[in-house]
């Protein structure tokens, strides 16, 4: 798990560096880059809720919050899955 955590930390650190304090990840308009940042941070929120991305990467948290306000994101918010079927 420590190895995977290092990979996630490295990716988040690099995304935070690239996004910086801009409104959009790249350029002056919403783009695929913003979708990518929003998707990654949203996935982490669902799959690893104890990962403290908001305080470690406040610029990514702010970017993610902006993206999550878009109708297309609101309509496709991931939710945790509960697997109740027996695995054979």
The dihedral of CA 32, 72, 79, 86: what is its sign?
negative
Look at residue 82 and tell me if it is in a domain: no
User: Which CATH number fits the domain that encloses residue 52?
Assistant: 1.20.1050.10
Q: Specify whether the CB–CB gap between 70 and 24 falls below 8 A.
A: no
Query: In the numeric block, which tokens belong to residue 27?
Result: 């350029």
pLDDT reading at 57 higher than 90: yes
Tell me the pTM.
0.77
> Residue 4 above 90 pLDDT?
no
Instruction: Tell which residue, 72, 82, 74, has the closest CA to residue 30.
Output: 72
pLDDT, tens digit, 9 for 90 and up, residues 67-82 = 999 998 888 887 777 7
Query: How does residue 11 score in pLDDT terms, banded at 50, 70 and 90?
Result: very high
Structural domain harbouring 68: 2-74
Looking at 1-88, list the stretches that DSSP marks H as alpha helix, in order from N- to C-terminal side.
2-19, 32-47, 53-56, 58-68, 71-74
């Amino acid at each position: 798990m420590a190895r995977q955590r290092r990979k996630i930390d490295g990716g988040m650190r690099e995304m935070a560096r690239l996004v910086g304090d801009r409104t959009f990840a790249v350029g002056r308009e919403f783009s695929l880059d913003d979708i990518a940042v929003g998707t990654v941070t949203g996935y982490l929120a669902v799959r690893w809720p104890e990962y403290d991305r908001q305080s470690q990467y406040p610029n990514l948290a702010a970017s993610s919050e902006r993206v999550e306000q878009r109708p297309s994101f609101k309509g496709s918010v991931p939710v945790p899955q509960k697997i109740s079927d027996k695995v054979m």
